[in-house]
A and B are shown apart, each in its own frame.
Chain A
Amino acid sequence: MVKKIYFQSIFFSFFFIKEAFAAESGGMPQLNPEFWVSQIFWLILTFGIMYLVLSKLILPKISNNLESRKSQILENIEAAEKQREDSDTKLKEYDEIISKSKLEANSIFNQAREKALKDIGAKREVLDKQIDNEISEAEKEIDILRKNAPDKINKIAIETSSELLQKLIGTEVNNSSISAIVDDLSKRNGDKYYGN
């Protein structure tokens, strides 16, 4: 507000003092034409030189700087974009390789398991056969031993009893008669001894 009033007073003084600008004090120095030509001359000189230097030397440099920065930033963005794409494709390749190798590993594992199972089965069969053979042989031996056992026992009994008789009685006894008795006894008591 104050400024406005002041501005107005100065603006009006522009007209009123115009007639009296020859008076040195109190008037506006702006309206004293003494140095007008000098001011115009120096204005044209300084402004002209500044304009020439700015337009020919400095401003093209600044615009060049701005352009080169812009283009470099664009280039960098492009390069970054390209690298991103590259990394994307590489990531995809990597994923593919990973999934492929997973499948491969799975199949290898399955094959190995099957093979191992087959091997184990074959070995077991062989072992089973061997065990069966051994068992049957052992059974045969046991059978033979069992069949032979009563005869041997009879023989031992006959010989023992004949020697016993000889020692007790002092006479030789006919072996055949003893064997007949032993056979008879063993037949009678065979069940008791052998469990047949």
Chain B
Amino acid sequence: MAANPMSQFDVYRIGPEIKVGAFDISFTNASLFMILSTVSILLVFNLGSKKNSILPNKIQLLAELSYTFVSKMISDTAGSKAKPYFAFIFSLFMFVLFCNMFGMIPYTFTVTSHIIVTFVLAAFIFIGVTVIGFIKHGFGYLKLFVPSGVPAVLLPLIVVIEIISYLSRPISLSVRLFANMMAGHTMMKVFGGFVISLGIVGGWLPLSFSVALTGLEILVAFLQAYVFAILTCIYLNDALNLHH
């Protein structure tokens, strides 16, 4: 790890180069942390669902609290029609949360700090929501871009704005998560570098700042996963319950 605060985001190959046609799908540190996150999620929730005791133990309580937390979030924002998509939103929330949290461990790699990862997730959500909307409402789904109660003069402008805002959803969704993770981790790296360069005399101030930032970043890691999941729910709500 070099002193450059951006070098923590470097992706490098682990093992040999794997090529399928023209595509390089080598196993990298990013792949390693994706696998670590998913395996930890599966491990935690498998352990949490194994025994069914009336008084749950700690890991069962954790699994059940996560389950009720996500299911309440979905039913609050997207209603009961969103129930078939519960497993996807649960997986999404847990994946982002675990990737963010794994990134908080020193010397690890943060999967969600890469725009390509968050963009693929966001694009998949965007396409999926759009497809669901057209399946549920047919071309009536286009009414989403025509809000009711708008004067006829303003309508063309409003429709254009609505379409732009709709199309920018995957970008805002992916950049929000990626930028938050990258900014936080870069800041921590910068302050960590200050501790070293200021030494034993002046290093205490950036060190205390670093400690505070760690707490903040853990909060951000949770919050961004929550925001990512709840925005998915809101988009899903638009597709399932057309309000306009």
Contacts and interface: CB of A to CB of B under 8 A. Distances in A.
Contact of B34 (A7, A42, A64, A66): A42
A10 B113 CA distance: 13
Given A3-B183, A7-B179, A37-B24, A30 B90 contact: no
B64 A66 contact: yes
Secondary structure type dominating chain A contacts: helix
B9 A54 contact: no
Interface of A: 2-3, 6-7, 10-11, 14, 25-32, 34-44, 46-47, 49-51, 53-55, 57-59, 61-66, 68-69, 72-73
5 contacts: A10-B182, A10-B183, A26-B4, A39-B116, A73-B54
B242 interface: no
Given A46-B34, A59-B67, A66-B64, A35 B11 contact: yes
Nearest to B32: A42
Given A37-B23, A37-B25, A40-B120, A50 B91 contact: yes
Secondary structure type dominating chain B contacts: helix
Contact of A62 (B48, B94, B184): B48
Interface string B171-205: 00000001100111011001000000000000000
A47 B49 contact: no
B31 interface: yes
B28 A54 contact: no
Nearest to A59: B87
A54 B54 contact: no
A25 B233 CA distance: 39
Contacts, number: 146
A27 B9 CA distance: 11
B38 A47 contact: yes
B42 interface: yes
Nearest to A63: B67
B183 A29 contact: no
B117 A39 contact: yes
Contact of B64 (A7, A41, A65): A65
A43 B4 contact: no
A11 B179 contact: yes
Contact of A30 (B7, B13, B28, B182): B182
Contacts of B179: 7, 10-11, 14
A43 B34 contact: yes
Contacts of A55: 87-88, 91
Contact of B49 (A11, A41, A62, A68): A62
A195 B199 CA distance: 150
Contact of B95 (A27, A50, A58): A50
A39 B216 CA distance: 28
